[in-house]
Amino acid sequence: MFELEFLLAQSLFDLIAPLNVDSAKSVVIYRAVDIKKQLFSAVVIGKKPRKDNLGTSLKQTLADCFKSGEYCVYEQEGEPHATLYPLKNSTNQTMAIIAIEAQISDPQLHETITMLLQIHKNFAGLISDNEHDTLTGLLNRKTFDSKIDKVLVNMHKKNARKDDKSGQLHFLIIFDIDHFKKVNDEFGHLIGDEVLLQLSKLMTQTFRDKDLLFRYGGEEFVGLLECTNPADIVRILDRFRKKVENFEFPQVGKVTVSAGYTEISVNDVSSKLLDRADLALYFAKNNGRNRICHYEQLIAESTLQENKKKVMANDELAPVLWTTSLVAR
């Protein structure tokens, strides 16, 4: 979606470029890194009259604009004049601030800018609807293949750079709702959908906005985690498992999840990753449920058995497959 924002900012810069030829002009995309701490990232198109470190007054104005969702004018002695326009998504949430650092005195120009922002919002909404699941709001299966391929390509690129010392580990995890068929049989599919919705909310609450979470199809969800050491992945996954275990699902009460995960290597393909994580998941289901199993560890301990058929006979599975991009916390 950022590519779309960049194209909008470039179009706005082309619009204001002919104005006051002798004055410095730019269009800046501000994103909130931490709104409470007033930390913002910035991408600048055009001349860069403003110093790198944002002043206190501008930070406050940006924070106010994010909160109000209304455009405003920034005027401070010794600093460039700027008009701040909130950039909103299809649900009317402010995702970024477009700051046009130029004098905009022509009402018609302001109307043109507002119209371009509305066109961006409408187009972004179409893209979002095409990429997201209607029930959970998570990314859908159509986007999974391209996203996981991008993760693998980025791993190849980092591996090719000899000076890359990031040391990040990547894992694919499959979560499965324990006894989900029983939920549908006893409470109906409407309540079953509510369980899926609440589970997706727990996911989004537990992980960061930049993490990728997919509804893969039916009861399946897919994701990817990135962390710095194997101990972090255990802690992160167990935190989510406990959050689900302690949550009171409406009408149903307690629900638990099992998980199987595998480490991603540079030469992996998505189908093999899903197969390995799936085997670890089935082991977890056959050995008590409400637990997390690591494929590579099970192989090293010679405890993994391919017992999928046995589990399928006893427990209709509702896998939650998911990918995210997560730095260990």
DSSP strand pairing (257-264 vs 292-294):
parallel
Active-site residue, from 5, 101, 219, 226: 219
The pLDDT tens digits of the residues spanning 185-240 come to: 999 999 999 999 999 999 988 877 777 888 877 777 878 888 888 998 899 899 99
The pLDDT of residue 315 is 52
The pLDDT of residue 311 is 46
Instruction: Output phi, psi for 145, to 5 deg.
Output: -60, -45
Averaged pLDDT score across all residues of the chain? 82
Tell me if 222 sits within 8 A of 214, measured CB to CB.
Answer: yes
The pLDDT tens digits of the residues spanning 265-279 come to: 999 999 999 899 989
User: What is the rounded distance in angstroms from the CA atom of residue 127 to the CA atom of residue 85?
Assistant: 21
Please name which of 95, 134, 149 lies closest in space to residue 323, comparing C-alpha atoms. 149
Q: What is the mean pLDDT of residues 143-148?
A: 86
**3-class secondary structure, 52:** coil
| DSSP line for 170-203 | EEEEEEEETTHHHHHHHH-HHHHHHHHHHHHHHH
111 tagged catalytic = no
Token readout for 47 is: 């001349």
The pLDDT of residue 275 is 92
Instruction: Output phi, psi for 250, to 5 deg.
Output: -55, 135
Q: What is the mean pLDDT of residues 287-310?
A: 81
- pLDDT for residue 50 is more than 60: no
Indicate the pLDDT class of residue 14, thresholds 50, 70 and 90: confident
| Residue 139, burial from CB neighbour count under 10 angstroms (0-12, 13-18, 19+) | buried
Please report the domains of the chain, with CATH numbers, ordered by start residue: 2-131 (3.30.450.40), 139-322 (3.30.70.270)
The pLDDT of residue 18 is 78
**DSSP bridge pairs for 30:** 42, 97
Tell me if 52 sits within 8 A of 60, measured CB to CB.
Answer: no
The pLDDT tens digits of the residues spanning 58-77 come to: 899 999 999 999 988 888 88
pTM: 0.66
